[in-house]
Structure 1
Amino acid sequence: MSGKILIVDDLATNRIVLKVKLCSAHYEVVQAASAKEGLRLAAVERPDLILANAQLPDATAADFVKSLRRSDETRATPIMILQMTHCSAERRLALSAGADDVLSKPVPEALLLARLRNLLRQHHGEQELSLQIGSTQALGFAEAPPGFDAPGRIGIIARTRAGAFGLQTLLARYSPHVTSVIDADRALSFSDAPQQADVYLLQITGAEAEEGLRLLADLKAAPRSRARPIIALVEADAAALGVTLLDMGADDVITGPPDARELILRLSAQLRRKRRGERLRRALRDGLNAAMLDPLTGAHNRRFALPFLQQLIETSQLSGESFAVMLADLDFFKQVNDRHGHAAGDRVLCEVTHHLRAHLREGDMLARIGGEEFLIVTPATSRRRAQRTADRLCAMIAQTPIPLASGLAPLHVTISIGVTMATPAPTRPAASVGQLLEEADRALYAAKAQGRNMVTFCARSAA
């Protein structure tokens, strides 16, 4: 199945006709004869999309959409409204209430299915991101109420300057958004500019149909513009391109002269969707970072460090470059907590992390893998260089006072470091992660036993 669609229409013949079309396209269909029944089934069936008649016996289209948007189960569900006859006021009310699309009958079957595919593609993309970060509501991703959108940047692309500036004038009259006219031949270079558009308006005529399709494909492929919504404004002589444009990635298609206020509503909806997607992706990146970083110090954690070390073992086996593995442990750290409190201990850990990171190379890896224990991995490092690095870190920590709360004297702490070298050789098997950590730990134990605040190498390094 391609997805589950709820049809809401009081006329049985309309529901039957739609069901036949949708079932032939491999959709599962659920039917309701009223707004009340539609709301109940939407909550129970959890459809992927709701397709409703604009004229229901117990609610207007706008009221039905508002009710759906108030429900947790259907707040993000795509909603398409079908009008029996074109009515601009009704269309605007439905879009303002939160409908994703409004179509006037008769709608060619190919165009209807393309619109459905387009809305479902957008919805399922957001769902996949939401599932990876958890509940969107818990993280504050509920749809913002219409009318509270910050202005966006709208890029107008048209072959004729008259057409582009006509659209710009139209938008300026009704919209708070900032518009700019982009020459079609420079559209892709513009997408690489620092202030690229949030949403593109792409005007296409029948005479320039091929170039319009190519530009849409290029915008959807370019790194800086592919995540930006594109609304295709198709003149009447190019109406047949609607299905192709939607299937190529256009986020919305408007045929014929646009109604200015409806265009603003559609632009604002695409802008909200774009910003919602950015928040979802940002939350996903933050979640991935949180999974790999120690929350106190900001250093990498064990979950990141061990796979990093395993990958370095494999790449070094191919390159033949040696690398160093160090375990650094704060000396007498328990005394810091006992004498000055855990807040002071946390401050020491954070400051030590900061100083260690500042004295390592860009490609080196620093991780906190225990209470006061750090793992340091320095790729492409000789034994001599590893010795200099470890000595420098040890001396730097000993010489750097750590400030505490106001009125308290700074603390002086030291670290002990155990080092082992991994030197790949074609005649020997590669060292394992466990072997390297065990050798570095033995060296660290030796440094502690010999008086602390020093660097000790493992007596027998791993191959």
Structure 2
Amino acid sequence: MSARILVVDDVIPNVKILEAKLSVEYYDVVTAYNGADALKIAEEQLPDLILLDVMMPQMDGFEVCRRLKADQRTAHIPVIMVTALSEAADRVQGLESGADDFLTKPVDDLALFARVKSLLRLKMMMDEFRLREETSSELGVISMSDRKEEAIQRARILVIDDNEYSVRMMKEIYAETYDITLEPNMEEAQVLLRGGDYDLAVISLDSATYDPLRLCSKIRSFEETRQLPILTLVDESDKDKLLKGMDIGINDYVMRPIDTNELIVRTRTQILRKQYQDRLRHNFHRSMELAVTDSLTGLYNRRYMSNHLDAMLQRAKMDYKPVCVLIMDIDFFKNVNDTHGHDVGDDVIKEFSCRIGTSVRGIDLACRYGGEEFVVVMPDTDLSVASGVAERLRRQIAEKQFSASNGGVVLDLTCSIGVTVSREKEDSESLLKRADEALYKAKRDGRNRVVAAPANVEVFEKAQGVAAR
């Protein structure tokens, strides 16, 4: 995967070495030799990742990172700090300033590219969700003002470790802040992960009873856990295993002996990122749902119904099974709005849609076609069955009064329904047109009735001619 990477270091040879290594892997590299230039380039060019030296004059890497994360335009750019500092306190300071990871000089090539690839994969996915959220907001589907800042909501952590001492330590560190589940068995852990809504999996890479990398691989292969952050506990002797794990999809790690503060900060970072990612994904699915549903009734809208009907007719051609369509219209609905106002009219529309929902089958698709018109698409259904459903719905509308939500208005209403069935080599436009013609015939014949139009057009047209005479 190609990406633009900003390398920041006040020592020119360090910059040139990293630039050469990254260029060989076909990354587009830009460089800066101080913090001020780094901030300017990051704002103007919006790189995909920043490799940031810590020890720089005037403005150190910690301050640069804090400013990057405070700016909404650059806050989501991953930052890897490259430093000669190796103390846990320095890593904690960097993580608290917003850094995503650390590399210690001299930089190991395998570790460098493992971290770069891992963070770039994550950024690409998050960028896609953010773009969709922004597009949905611009279209008015969702409101960005409704979003809240991410906060840890008593997150759930599953610790998978068969070392009793390590497990006790995890329990002491996490117990006050998180809901923690401890599981030494890999098979049981998989069951728990797929059935529970966890925010983080903490996995020891040093196990005598299971293959931790196999477990990480399975977590990434299951749909339910594919996006679950994985934090690993690593011994110095397990570095090769760690690098393979980074390729599999491990998000972060803590080296043993474990520094409590570093573990706490890295845990918090992963959980906040997970909650932010969940919010983006929720907004995306919500925007998709709102894009295909009618805001007043919750039924599918006309655009979705048309696409769905086209797909259903294509399937019907292969299965040789008919598709029926009902089009219904509330009789004299204009009088409701003119006499009682649009609020009462909206109440009627909502109640009408509820009655449709209780009258049709689970496999049927109900939608608001526009105004006071509704459509029900019925797959694998012949005309007699569809006519029976339409008649039942007509009676439910006519026999039970409609009440406005304020309780001040009670109305007796009826509806007219046109029904037809698909024929061979027919598209959705033609099918809907024939159902619409049946609806208009029901209205011309006096309303509060069901008119069924058979697939044989000539039969229906002859019947219309007789009715007109």
| TM-score above 0.5 | yes
* 1:35 maps onto 2:30 in alignment: no
Matches within 5 A, 1:40-55: 40-55=40-55
In 1, Cα distance between equivalents of 2:12 and 2:30 = 13
SS at match of 2:401: coil
Aligned length: 452
Out of 376-385 and 445-454, give the one that drifted further: 376-385
**Alpha-carbon deviation of 1:251?**
0.7
Alpha-carbon separation, structure 1, partners of 2:79 and 2:157 = 25
SS at match of 2:404: coil
Cα RMSD of the aligned pairs, angstroms, is 2.2
Letter in 2 for 1:456: V
Q: Label 1:294 to 1:390 Cα distance change in 2 as closer, same or farther (>3 A).
A: same
In the other structure, the counterpart of 1:277 is 277
Contact 2:201–2:229 (Cα < 8 Å) also in 1: yes
Kindly tell me: are residues 98 and 104 of structure 1, through their superposed partners in 2, closer, same or farther at Cα, counting changes over 3 Å? same
Letter in 2 for 1:380: D
* Corresponding position of 1:157: 160
TM-score by length of 1: 0.92
Asked whether the 8 Å contact 1:239–1:255 carries over to 2, the reply is: no
Q: Is the 8 A contact 1:191 1:197 kept in 2?
A: yes
Query: What is the alpha-carbon distance in structure 2 between the residues aligned to residue 28 and residue 15 of structure 1?
Result: 14
* Partner in structure 1 of residue 338 of structure 2: 338
Partners of 1:330 and 1:416 within 8 A in 2: yes
Distance apart, 1:63 and its partner CA: 1.7
1:274-320 deviation digits (Å, cap 9, x = unpaired): 11111111111111111111111111111110111111112122222
Looking at structure 2, the residues matched to 135 and 333 of structure 1 have their Cα atoms a distance apart, in angstroms, of 36
Counterpart secondary structure, 1:369: strand
Structure 1 residue 462: Cα displacement:
6.5
Q: Equivalent residue of 1:284, what SS? A: helix
SS in 2 for 1:192: helix
Hey, what's the Cα distance between the residues in 1 that align with 2:12 and 2:117?
24
Give 1:34 shift: 1.0
Structure 1 residues 364 and 134, CA gap change in structure 2 (3 angstroms)? same
**1-side partners of 2:309 and 2:135: how far apart?**
33
Change over 3 Å in CA distance of 1:441–1:68 after alignment to 2:
same
**How do 1:395-414 residues align onto structure 2 when only pairs under 5 Å count?**
395-406=395-406, 408-414=408-414
Q: Counterpart in 2 of 1:233?
A: 233
Aligned-partner Cα distance in 2 for 1:267–1:141? 27
SS of structure 1 residue aligned to 2:144: coil
Q: What are structure 1's unaligned runs of at least 5 residues?
A: 424-428
Following TM superposition, by how much is the alpha carbon of 1:135 offset from its aligned partner in structure 2, in angstroms?
Answer: 6.2
Matches within 5 A, 1:295-374: 295-374=295-374
The equivalent of 2:191 in structure 1 is 189
Q: Distance in 2 between matches of 1:284 and 1:335?
A: 39
TM-aligned CA deviation for residue 131 of structure 1: 1.7
Post-superposition offset of 1:334: 0.8
Q: Which moved more, 1:158-167 or 1:263-272?
A: 158-167
CA pair 57-135 structure 1, distance change in 2 beyond 3 A: farther
Distance in 2 of aligned mates of 1:407 and 1:314: 46
**2:451 is matched with which residue: 427, 451, 456?**
456
Shift of 1:444: 0.6
Tell me which amino acid in the other structure corresponds to 2:446: G
| Mapped partners of 1:141, 1:61: distance in 2 | 34
The answer for the alignment partner of 1:176 in structure 2 is 177
How far is 1:261 from its partner?
0.8
Compute the displacement of 1:340 (Å).
0.7
Higher mean alpha-carbon deviation, 216-225 vs 40-49, is at: 216-225
Task: Say which SS state the counterpart of residue 74 (structure 2) adopts.
Answer: coil
Matched with 2:76 is 76
What is the Cα deviation at residue 407 of structure 1?
Answer: 5.2
Q: Is the 8 A contact 2:323 2:422 kept in 1?
A: yes
Which position in structure 1 is the counterpart of 2:144?
Answer: 139
1:6 Cα shift? 0.9
SS at match of 2:441: helix
Once residues 185 and 74 of structure 2 are traced to their aligned partners in structure 1, the CA distance between those partners, rounded to angstroms, is 39
Instruction: Describe how 1:441-452 pairs up with structure 2 within 5 A.
Output: 441-452=436-447
Q: Take 2:207 and 2:7, find their aligned partners in 1: how far apart are those partners?
A: 34
Q: Normalising by structure 2, what TM-score? A: 0.91
Q: 2:169 aligns with which of 166, 169, 193?
A: 166
Q: Distance in 2 between matches of 1:407 and 1:157?
A: 58
Match of 1:200 in 2: 201
Indicate conservation of the 8 Å contact 2:200/2:229, yes or no: yes
Amino acid in structure 1 at the alignment position of 2:190: L
- In 2 relative to 1, CA 142–46 (structure 1 residues): closer, same or farther, beyond 3 Å? farther
Q: Is 2:109 the partner of 1:109?
A: yes
Q: Residue 466 of structure 2 corresponds to which residue in structure 1?
A: none
Q: Find the residue that maps to 1:389 and give its secondary structure.
A: helix
Letter in 2 for 1:199: L
- Report if the CA contact (8 A) 2:352-2:397 is conserved: yes
- 8 Å contact from structure 1 (residues 130, 136) kept in 2: no
**Alpha-carbon distance between aligned partners in 2 of 1:49 and 1:181, rounded to the nearest angstrom:** 35
Q: In the alignment, is residue 249 of structure 1 matched against residue 249 of structure 2?
A: yes
Q: Which amino acid aligns with 2:438?
A: A
CA contact (8 A) 2:8 2:51 kept: yes
Q: Separation in 1 of the partners of 2:341 and 2:232?
A: 63
- Paired letter, 2:180: T
Distance 1:432-1:269 versus aligned 2 partners, 3 A rule = same
2-side partners of 1:9 and 1:441: how far apart? 71
User: Which residue in the other structure is 2:97 paired with?
Assistant: 97
One-letter amino acid of the structure 1 residue matched with residue 379 of structure 2: P
Distance change >3 Å, CA 121–CA 349, structure 1 → 2: same
Shift of 1:170: 3.6
Q: Secondary structure at the match of 2:254?
A: strand
- Supply the AA of the counterpart residue of 1:454: R
Indicate how the Cα distance of structure 1 residues 459 and 81 shifts in structure 2: closer, same or farther if over 3 A, else same: closer
Mapped contact 2:82–2:103 kept (Cα < 8 A):
yes
Instruction: Give the CA deviation at 1:142.
Output: 8.7
Q: Write the distance in 1 (CA, Å) between the matches of 2:60 and 2:148.
A: 21
**Which aligned pairs between 1:406-445 and structure 2 lie closer than 5 A?**
406=406, 408-423=408-423, 429-445=424-440
